[in-house]
């Protein structure tokens, strides 16, 4: 059986939908915290099992009989996320899961600015040491993060974001889900690591220009505000210190070029060109 953690999240649900086109529902185990969040699949034949990343026993119960697991990275932050992801790997080992795919980040290195990169780095290492065969998807930023980063600029094109001239090889979450479904239904995992990116990179100045083209925003431009002003702004919006620090670390990592790598592996998994940023933004208008 093939299991997915975080199966009701954006990436998990999209992967589930693609998986259903490739394998029988009875081969799929969707692991969620709250079965009600996958109510549309109740009675579909998919095994919906509940588990919490905070509860090792629930994870071990949910992973019984699973051969292949897609571990979607945690949405928590800091030490909590690290402990959660560690529990998933440990539970998989204890349950005899043979193959694991994990959604890492593009630059999971010791020197990374992005806070989540350190969680992913740790989880990757646990997986490599686990004895399970693996596929690591080092995902670039989703297209879907763009509206999150630029906020009100979706309405006027005036982007205030401390990314300098940093470029991002944004990739579509839906494309990543399709690629993951191909991996999950494909040949034996061969301990491979893939950089999962779009075909092109975009700076935030490029995004402003794209918005000018698509939405006709005459004043569209990117202003590179200071990281400190950005952090203060986030705190002003009511975010806590940790959350503000997390988002600031994303901007720092973009500024440092940690998301600028491109690779053709996503295209290889899809057998077609990945969705581009222009196309994604066009669909929003
Ligand atoms: N590359 C990028 O640009 C990017 C952007 C955002 C996130 N990410 C990473 O990619 C992952 C998937 O993205 P996404 O958009 O699908 O995120 P998402 O929609 O927030 O989904 C997160 C999933 O994790 C589940 N979850 C959270 N805490 C849990 C717990 N304690 N026990 C069990 N399940 C728990 C959530 O379940 P509930 O509904 O019960 O909370 C949900 O199913 C994220 O978790 C994050 O690590 C990457």
Residues 163-176 pLDDT 10s = 999 999 999 999 99
pLDDT in the model for residue 149: 92
What share of the chain in percent tops pLDDT 90?
Answer: 98
pLDDT reported for residue 73: 98
User: Which value, to the nearest 10 degrees, does the dihedral of the CA atoms of residues 105, 107, 109, 114 take?
Assistant: -70
**Average pLDDT value for residue range 99-112:** 98
How high does pLDDT run on average in the chain? 97
C-alpha to C-alpha distance for 236 and 97, rounded to whole angstroms:
45
pLDDT score at 276: 97
- Cα separation, 203 vs 209, in Å, equals 10
Average pLDDT rounded to a whole number, residues 248-265: 97
Query: Are 71 and 92 spatial neighbours (Cβ–Cβ below 8 Å)?
Result: yes
Angstrom distance (rounded) from CA 193 to CA 109: 14
The residue-averaged pLDDT of 230-249 equals 93
Measured in Å, residue 16 CA sits from the centre of ligand 1 at 14
Q: Are 47 and 54 in contact (CB under 8 A)?
A: no
The torsion angles phi and psi of 253, rounded to 5 degrees, stand at: -70, -35
Residue 166 has what pLDDT? Answer: 98
Instruction: Supply the pLDDT for residue 265.
Output: 98
Question: Residues lining ligand 1, judged by CB closer than 6 Å?
Answer: 6, 8-12, 33-34, 37, 52-54, 72-76, 84, 103, 139, 141-142, 145
- Ligand 1 atom at minimal distance to the Cα of residue 7: 43
pLDDT of residue 270: 98
Instruction: Output the pLDDT for position 229.
Output: 95
Q: Characterize 236-250 residue by residue with b for buried, 16 or more Cβ atoms within 10 angstroms of its Cβ, and e for exposed.
A: eeebeeeebbbbbbb
Q: What is the helix (H) or strand (E) element at residue 3, kind and residue range?
A: strand 2-4
The 3-state DSSP class for residue 47 equals strand
Distance (angstroms) between ligand 1 centre and the Cα of 216 equals 34
Q: Six-digit token pair at 234?
A: 């986030």
In 74-144, which residue ranges form alpha helices assigned H by DSSP? Answer: 78-94, 115-129
For residue 35, what pLDDT band results from cuts at 50, 70 and 90? very high
DSSP E strand stretches across 59-212: 68-71, 99-105, 133-139, 158-160, 167-168, 192-196, 202-203
Mean pLDDT across 278-282: 96
Residue nearest to atom 18 of ligand 1 (CA): 9
Please check whether residue 53 is in contact with residue 84, taking contact to mean a CB–CB distance below 8 angstroms.
yes
Cβ neighbours of residue 127 under 8 Å, at least 6 residues apart?
Answer: 71, 89, 100, 102, 134, 136
Distance of CA 222 to the CA centre of its chain: 25
Which runs of E-coded beta strand occur in the chain? 2-4, 28-32, 47-50, 68-71, 99-105, 133-139, 158-160, 167-168, 192-196, 202-203, 221-223
Q: Cβ distance 59 to 33 under 8 Å?
A: no
Ordered by start, the domain boundaries in the chain are 2-139+172-196+262-274
Residue nearest to atom 24 of ligand 1 (CA): 6
pLDDT band at 119 (very low <50, low <70, confident <90, very high): very high
What integer pLDDT is reported at residue 213 of this predicted model? 96
Which CATH code for domain 2-139+172-196+262-274? 3.40.50.720
- Choose which residue among 3, 5, 7, 9 to substitute to test ligand 1 binding: the one with the highest number of ligand atoms within 8 A of its C-beta: 9
Cα–ligand 1 centroid distance for 215 (angstroms): 31
pLDDT of residue 209: 97
Ligand 1, residue 53: give the atom nearest the CA: 32
pLDDT at position 167 is: 98
């Amino acid at each position: 059986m093939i299991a997915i953690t975080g199966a009701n999240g954006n990436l998990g649900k999209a992967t589930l939908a693609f998986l259903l086109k490739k394998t029988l529902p009875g081969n799929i185990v969707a692991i969620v915290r709250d079965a009600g969040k996958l109510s549309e699949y109740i009675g579909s034949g998919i095994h919906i099992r509940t588990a919490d990343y905070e509860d090792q026993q629930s994870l071990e119960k949910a992973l019984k009989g699973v051969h292949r697991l897609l571990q979607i990275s945690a949405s928590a932050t800091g030490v909590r996320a690290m402990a959660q992801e560690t529990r998933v790997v440990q539970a998989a080992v204890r349950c005899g899961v043979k193959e694991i795919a994990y959604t890492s980040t593009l630059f999971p290195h010791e020197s990374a600015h992005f806070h989540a990169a350190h969680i992913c780095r740790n989880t990757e290492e646990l997986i490599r040491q686990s004895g399970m065969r693996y596929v690591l998807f080092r995902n670039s930023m989703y297209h879907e993060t763009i509206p999150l980063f630029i906020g009100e600029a979706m309405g006027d094109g005036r982007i205030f974001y401390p990314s300098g001239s940093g470029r991002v090889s944004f990739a579509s979450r839906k494309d990543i889900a399709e690629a993951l479904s191909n991996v999950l239904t494909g040949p034996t995992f061969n301990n491979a690591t893939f950089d999962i990116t779009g075909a092109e990179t975009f700076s935030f100045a490029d995004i402003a220009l794209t918005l000018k083209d698509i939405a006709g925003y005459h004043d569209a431009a990117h202003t590179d505000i200071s990281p400190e002003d950005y952090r203060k702004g986030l705190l002003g919006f009511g975010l806590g210190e940790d959350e503000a620090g997390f988002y600031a670390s994303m901007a720092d990592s973009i500024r440092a070029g940690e998301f600028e790598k491109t690779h053709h592996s996503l295209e290889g998994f899809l057998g077609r060109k990945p969705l581009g940023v222009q196309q994604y933004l066009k669909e929003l208008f």
